[in-house]
Amino acid sequence: MRAAHERPGVAPVAHERAPHADPHAMAGLNTHAIVLESLAGRTGTVADLGCGQGALSIELARRGFDVVCADMSPEHFRMHAVPGIHGYLVDLNGGLPHRDRTFDVVCAVEIIEHLENPRHFLRECRRIVKDDGLVIVTTPNVLSLASRLSFLFRGCLIYFNQGEYERNHHISPLRLTDFSNMFREVGLSLVRIDFNTGKLPIPKVRHWVPLTARAFRNVWLGESLIVWASPARKAGGSHV
């Protein structure tokens, strides 16, 4: 039987020893810590989709998970030679090169906003996660006070201005309501929401004064939205 990471037509990435992967380079402050905390007590295989430098993959592997990390930009990878990590180059706008119900957990940290069709991506996440598995997605919180003020005075949501489009290809802003609707459409059920850290709606100052206490991790101040979903069940108990 072919291992979860051995898929035809997908180019593997060599895991050469490299500088330490920065957990905040591709994700906001506290995001990886919250994701990892939510997986305490779990084991098995994880797909880290849009893994960036590989910081989350490294921590998952150190916690005993068998990790498949995928990204379309190999120059971002900063993975140490950690046992249990298998990296592949994949365009996440297309189909994912894995069999149905392969992974116990599917993580997509700060990647869905870069994709052309979020529904197609979530449908693929549902396809490859096991029926008792978990899908975790994070994205910029476009309903924060800072984002609302940005739209009011500049006509664009925070992290979705022209500069973000040109530098980072942010093209798909998503609200919690959008996730609820899409999860229902693709056969997932929303099970938890959180935000990574609070940021004051003051330009420049907001990045220097992060508010990590739980009370500040809300829709008004949170920088990134984090959602957890599990495969939905039909009325009779079978999975969708």
pTM for this one?
A: 0.86
Single-letter amino acid code for the residue at 30 = N
Q: Which residue has the higher pLDDT, 85 or 6?
A: 85
Count of structural domains within the chain: 1
Structural domain includes residue 69? yes
Structural domain includes residue 40? yes
The three-state secondary structure class of 115 is coil
Structural domain includes residue 72? yes
Give the residue-averaged pLDDT of 162-183: 94
Single-letter amino acid code for the residue at 53 = Q
Calpha distance 54→26 (Å, rounded):
9
Share of the chain above pLDDT 70, in %: 82
Provide the residue range defining the domain that includes 60: 11-140+169-197+223-231
Calpha distance 112→118 (Å, rounded):
6
Among candidates 101, 123, 114, 95, which has minimal Cα distance to 44? 101
- CATH number for position 178: 3.40.50.150
Per residue in 26-44, pLDDT (tens digit) is 678 899 999 999 999 999 9
Structural domain includes residue 150? no
Structural domain includes residue 76? yes
Lowest pLDDT segment from 24-28, 126-130, 205-209: 24-28
Pairing of strands 85-89, 103-109: unpaired
Structural domain includes residue 31? yes
The three-state secondary structure class of 142 is coil
Structural domain includes residue 135? yes
Give the residue-averaged pLDDT of 188-206: 87
Structural domain includes residue 218? no
Q: Which residue has the higher pLDDT, 135 or 7?
A: 135
pLDDT on residue 240: 63
pLDDT on residue 116: 96
- Rounded to the nearest 5°, which phi and psi values hold at 75? -70, -15
- Contact between residue 130 and residue 103 where contact means Cβ atoms under 8 Å apart: yes
Question: Is pLDDT above 60 for 14?
Answer: no
